[in-house]
Amino acid sequence: MHIASLLARAARLHPTNAAIAGGGRDQSYAAFQARASRLAAHLCSRGLVPGERVSVLSWNVPEFLECYFAGAAAGLVVNPLNVRLSALEQVEVVRDCGARHLVAQASFAPLVAEILALGAPLEGVTWIGGAPAVSVPSTEYERALAEAPAAFPPCEPAGDAPAHLYYTSGTTGRAKGVILTHRNVVTHALGAIAELGLSERDTWAHVAPLFHLADAWATFAITWAGGRHVWLERFEARAALDLLERERVTITNLIPTMLNLMVADETAAGRDWSALRALLSGGAPIAPEVVRRIVATFRCEYVQTYGMTETSPYLTLSLLKEHLKQLPEAEQLRYRAKTGRPFATVELCVVGDDGREVAPDERTVGEIRVRGETVTPGYWKRPEETAAAFEDGWLKTGDLAVVDREGYVTIVDRKKDMIITGGEKVYSTEVEHALYAHPAVLEAAVFGTPDPVWGEQVEAAVVLRAGAAASAEELVEHCRAHLAHYKAPRAIRFLAELPRTGSGKIAKHGLRRKPSTPPAPGFC
């Protein structure tokens, strides 16, 4: 099966089901399929041939979902651009993947003009929601659909044909395009349906960016299941809460920052959450106490997730095994807050420096390695980086973790973020957990900085809660009370917010470079 066949199935089996709802854009699966098919025909009419890349630059709108399926039906490789990147970074991506065509929201016209001026190889644009003039031929989206032939015989790409090209945030060096094949995407979707029990009863909220896999995977799984897609163009906590309540959303995945802001909203707990059955989040460690607060607020199941673009994305979910559901609530929360146990389609092991699996003692640290049909075949035109990413067929994730007796892993650090101070290993997550336990701390990131005596020293960046106060000395003391002294930060910077990658992960490389700034007014 290939990606376009999932929408085709939904349109045949559930033609009248609401595919896309809300925002005055209610659309059945029959209509969804018809529009995606016309968009595919339009893209082909621009001279694009199977195997070519098409870039998409958009916040969350229903047209984005159509692009994913239309690209597949046209046999194209869809390259979603991270809207937060600069024009120069966008050009680097577009040039690397060689896209000749772009589908973009009209509101990005200035950015697109800049990209073109910088020499991106684009030869045409299809504009969503407008028709701004630009230096290459362009068409307005709805007009493009109207003018495209209704009947379009979809391509039938092989399972191992590239379907998507996501460029990683590029925390190190040049951005790399992660290839996901049709089989990668389809297998992940089926795995997610099996793991999460997705069905046509489900409504998924596209709140996290659709240009990132944290949300994009649901495009395929929810469509396959015949469920309902609702969306929020750009995140804002109150609007997200409104959407989830109004549209009776049953399940979604939120980036931790989003979830934090939503839980902190005073209206959150008092709403009608009777439809909501599960909230997923991940990409950052979470404390059991925070999980308790989420569950208390939304009165639904919480699932910690861990994944990578390279793995379509899920690698683990903190779903509870049956016998763990018999544990006292506090123990259950402890498991729900772990990184999780392997996703259905993933083989996962944690390998120590000696190349052998670590003991499941929740103490011995190793690197997570994975394989399976949801793992990328590699990076776009980067045979060396691809070869370096794998060992004996296993993808080296670069994430360090411990494993417990139940097979749940807990990430302790990115391999490259691990700190060695005076010969001792310090895993930043452990120190961050200690900081999070302080009532004044909203967010914390721990990282190493060069030190002439110790090799590296432990440093922290902290965002304080609104109205709360704490001095650097107080936080260091707090850490020393909870941790071995060498693990406590030697320096603490107070920031108004933490720098993040396009996908919402904390960008520690940015912190290492960033000079300390005084806390914003009102923070302390």
> Which residues form the interface with its own copies (CB under 8 A)?
1, 5, 8-9, 12-14, 156, 159, 187, 190-191, 193-194, 197, 199-201, 224, 226, 321-322, 341-342, 344-345, 347, 372-373, 393, 407
CB of residue 162 vs its own copies: minimum separation in angstroms? 17
Nearer to its own copies, 87 or 344 (CB): 344
Nearer to its own copies, 9 or 382 (CB): 9
Burial class (CB in 10 A: 0-12, 13-18, 19+), 467: exposed
* Secondary structure letter of residue 202 according to DSSP: -
Cα dihedral sign for 424, 430, 431, 432?
positive
Residue 320 φ then ψ, to 5°: -85, 135
CB of residue 17 vs its own copies: minimum separation in angstroms? 8
CB of residue 30 vs its own copies: minimum separation in angstroms? 12
Regarding beta strands 27-28 and 18-20, do their DSSP bridges make them parallel or antiparallel, or are they unpaired? antiparallel
Nearer to its own copies, 405 or 485 (CB): 405
DSSP per-residue codes, 386-448: HHHHEETTEEEEEEEEEE-TTS-EEEEEEGGG-EEETTEEE-HHHHHHHHHTSTTEEEEEEEE
CB of residue 193 vs its own copies: minimum separation in angstroms? 4
Nearer to its own copies, 29 or 235 (CB): 29
Regarding beta strands 301-307 and 278-282, do their DSSP bridges make them parallel or antiparallel, or are they unpaired? parallel
Nearer to its own copies, 377 or 519 (CB): 377
Nearer to its own copies, 17 or 171 (CB): 17
Q: Which neighbouring-strand residues pair with 280?
A: 253, 303
CB of residue 11 vs its own copies: minimum separation in angstroms? 10
Instruction: Report CA 494 to chain centroid distance, whole Å.
Output: 26
Nearer to its own copies, 321 or 425 (CB): 321
Nearer to its own copies, 390 or 454 (CB): 390
- How many angstroms separate the CA atoms of 438 and 441, rounded? 6
Location of structure tokens 């362009």: 138
| Angle at which helices 62-73 and 3-13 cross, to 10° | 110
What the block records as the tokens of 329 is: 């609530």
- Residue 426's nearest CA partner among 414, 438, 437, 436 is 414
CB of residue 201 vs its own copies: minimum separation in angstroms? 6
CB of residue 288 vs its own copies: minimum separation in angstroms? 22
Peptide bond into 342 cis (omega under 30): no
Those residues whose C-beta lies under 8 Å from the C-beta of residue 425, and which sit 6 or more positions away, are: 365, 418, 419
What are the Cα distances from residue 138, in Å, to 66, 108, 112, 141?
18, 14, 12, 9
Nearer to its own copies, 383 or 393 (CB): 393
CB of residue 197 vs its own copies: minimum separation in angstroms? 6
CB of residue 323 vs its own copies: minimum separation in angstroms? 8
